[in-house]
Amino acid sequence: MFSKGDKINDRYEIIKLIGEGGMANVYLAYDTILERNVAVKVLRGDLADDEKFVRRFQREALSASSLSHPNIVEMYDVGEDNGNFYIVMEYIDGQTLKQLIKKRGHLTVPEAIDIMLQLTDGLAHAHDSYIIHRDIKPQNIMIEDNGRIKIADFGIAMALNSTQLTQTNSVMGSVHYLPPEQANGKGSTVKSDIYSLGILMYELLTGSVPFKGDTAVEIALKHMKEKIPSVRKQNPTIPQSVENIILKATAKNPKNRYNNVRELHDDLKTALDKDRANEKRSYADETA
């Protein structure tokens, strides 16, 4: 752990600890060279001791640092100082979507669609650069006071996904958004991110995740086998066109999901149009 006034790499002066997680501690720091506040994420314990993971983390973080989009947290630097592996990012003065959902319970339909449009815009940019996030969840998404959404943790998410991760809290946090193909041990594609987005949209509208359980395995099995509950049963004011987007994004078979994030983005744009008001319920896995 670092304390106020400590310097990382003789450049980033620690102001305060702003977050603790199973994978990393996050500090607000001052970049003494570029004279600006930054967020510094320092890998914790056994992850930093895993040489294979560290190499992959550094590679993935560098790859993600090429992304430049208003809805993606910008990565500035990645390095190591006295055995501490760190990543330096844009500092976002806001809260995570998870914190917002906990505070509010659930969001209105227009709010959820606005957030989803920003998320899909940012992810489409990443996918265009052949970068899949692989760990989309509200804990990894920041919202600023002005409502702007920022997707975080690209480098860490990509590296973690290909490492045997044993930290229960990290797995439990992610398993609620886990695509069936990932639960099955198959590789991730852009459609894996689409599934996680669908689960996230469900949570924005209802205030809870669709599949719960006492263990990560139990939840993963539900993603593979159980139908997603109806958001309209919980809140009948949600239009069918909006529920249909969730159903298509979270199809068990990736072939039945949107072909890409832009397709999902375009569907979201027209979800509240009057001509879609009487749309029929469409369950992607059944219609394909």
Looking at the DSSP bridge assignments, the partners of residue 203 are none
Tell me what pLDDT residue 189 has: 87
Establish whether 135 is a catalytic residue: yes
State both tokens at 51: 């040489």
Q: What is the pLDDT of residues 42-56, one digit of tens each?
A: 987 777 777 877 887
Half-sphere exposure of 154 (CA within 13 A, CB side): 31
Q: Out of 6, 81, 128, 135, which one is annotated catalytic?
A: 135
Three-class secondary structure of residue 81 per DSSP: strand
Could you give the CA distance from residue 84 to residue 79 in angstroms, rounded to a whole number? Answer: 8
Tell me what pLDDT residue 162 has: 52
Q: Are 151 and 133 in contact (CB under 8 A)?
A: yes
Range with the poorest average pLDDT among 26-30, 50-54, 190-194, 239-243: 50-54
State both tokens at 78: 């990645």
C-alpha 122 chain-centroid distance = 11
The pTM for the full model equals: 0.89
Q: What is the pLDDT of residues 154-209, one digit of tens each?
A: 766 665 555 444 443 445 558 899 999 888 878 788 999 999 999 999 999 999 99
